[in-house]
Amino acid sequence: MNTLLRAGFFYFVIVFVIGFVLGAIRVLVLVPRIGELLAVLIELPLMLTASWIVCKSLIARFQVAHEVFDRIVMGATALAFLLVAETVLSTCVFGNPIEATFNNYLAPHGFIGLCGQLAFAAIPLLQLLKR
């Protein structure tokens, strides 16, 4: 179980760093030019592609078993860390009220982002099913 939690944690860390960089580009460059929704729609395939590659590498590195439970634990661990990190970043660093942070998921761009996060969590399992 410890290996699964570590794999999920590193999956979160690496993808979070990539997402932070892409998110900065999205907010600073794309959003002012094309709006929030289109910017998210451009960023999402890049994030999911990066997530797929990172996940595949970490599954090999940590030798995550070819079992549904193991893949679900890895993805759920990564998602839990991601949601906590995004909430802390939004509220503590950017000063957004916690209600606004969660209400963001109700906007079209926020909902698409949330769906992307769920897909991110499902990637370890999807890679198993793809075999």
pLDDT at 1 over 90: no
Helix axes 2-25, 36-62, angle to 10 degrees: 150
pLDDT digits (tens, 9 = 90+) for 83-124: 999 999 999 998 999 999 899 999 999 999 999 999 999 999
Q: Rounded distance, CA 97 to CA 107, Å?
A: 16
Ranges of beta strands (E only) in the chain are none
pLDDT digits (tens, 9 = 90+) for 60-88: 999 999 999 999 999 999 999 999 999 99
11 pLDDT band, cuts 50/70/90, is very high
pLDDT score of 8: 98
Q: Rounded distance, CA 48 to CA 70, Å?
A: 20
If we measure between CA atoms, which residue out of 22, 15, 1, 20 comes closest to residue 90?
20
Q: Rounded to an integer, what is the distance from CA 119 to the centroid of its chain?
A: 8
